[in-house]
Amino acid sequence: MTNPDMAALIRLFVIFIPLLLVAGLYCIIVTRNLIRILIGVELLSKAVVLIIIVAGYVTNRMALAQAMAITMIIIEVVVIAIAAGIIINIFRHYDSLDTRNLEQMKG
Amino acid sequence: MITPYILTLVLLILLIATALWSVMQDDLLRAAIALAGVSIIVTLLMFQMAAPMAAVFELSVCAGLITVVFVSAISLTRLMTRQENIEFSRERMTRFWYLPVLLIIVGVLLSFLVVPGVPSIPAVVADVRKVLWNERQLDMLGQILVILTGVFGIVVLFKDKPKVEKDI
């Protein structure tokens, strides 16, 4: 790919990847549902994985970028699985997924 | 003829539209499926940038496994009644309608950003497997530890608690 094509492609990603980050952050900040907070975290993770892959594409280090992206994906899935388990336990305890009902910090 | 630039632009627009749909969707199940759609589009972008191994991981793990985790979590939590759903939807929209406006404003501001030219860097030809096993050994160890932590965490979270017998 020629340099002007690469610059145009980078410009596209510079515009769209922050939009994905904004959508994920907005979802986490505004929502009161615990599962929707997880959806926001997922969107942030996908934006980070895309940034890693784009960086590898631009610097022609795709093998290293893929290795780091795979690491990120594995960490992401474990975080989501544990968080889902915690949410299910919270629901069993409080019978609600609303963050406004999670006021008491006791075991 | 569709150039790579046009294809990337279309995929990125679809990505933001699907992400917006997953955030603003009332029904949690549809939001989880929209999230799987976001993963699929990220996979297509990765394939376009010649990252096939990461793309396969993204598709199988994120679009597959994480969607199953979400659907399981949603099914194990109580569904709202119809009346609760209607009231909840109305109240939700008052908070979430700002998001598309915010995304348009941020997109327009970012389009004015001047991106410096990238010098052409010679490619480093390497196999992903060799990089993972030879150069990123600590990453592999970290991944194994994280997976083990996840497994033990799930076992502990879903352990049956012993019932306390009350004295009569």
Contact B23, A27 (CB under 8 A): yes
CA–CA separation, A106 and A82 (whole Å): 20
Task: Please tell me the pTM assigned to this model.
Answer: 0.84
> What pLDDT does B84 receive?
63
Rounded to the nearest integer, the mean pLDDT of chain A is 87
pLDDT score recorded for residue B136: 81
Distance from CA of A87 to the nearest CA of B (A): 8
* Phi/psi at B125 (5° precision): -85, 120
Q: Confidence class of residue B104 from pLDDT cuts 50, 70 and 90?
A: confident
Tokens 């294809």 belong to residue: B7
Q: For chain B, what is the total number of helices (H) and then of strands (E)? A: 8, 0
Contact B128 A15 (CB under 8 A): no
Nearest CA in chain A to B40: A46
Instruction: Quickly state the pLDDT bin for B26 (edges 50, 70, 90).
Output: confident
Nearest CA in chain A to B132: A67
Q: Residue A57 contacts by C-beta under 8 Å, 6 or more apart in sequence? A: A65, B49, B50, B51
B40 vs B131: CA distance, rounded Å:
25
Distance CA A51, CA A101 (A): 36
Q: Which of B42, B106, B123 comes nearest A18 by C-beta? A: B106
B66 touches chain A (CB under 8 A): yes
Average pLDDT for residues B133-156, to the nearest whole number?
83
Q: Residue B97: its pLDDT value, please?
A: 79
Indicate the residue of A19, A50, A70 with minimum beta-carbon distance to B57. Answer: A70
DSSP H helical ranges for chain A: 3-30, 34-58, 62-94
At A80, the pLDDT band (50, 70, 90 cuts) reads very high
Domains of chain A listed by start with CATH number? 3-98 (1.10.287.3510)
Select from A12, A59, A78 the Cβ nearest to the Cβ of B121: A59
| Residue A107 structure tokens | 């075991």
Beta bridge pairs of residue A33: A98
- Answer yes or no: do B124 and A18 touch at CB < 8 A: no
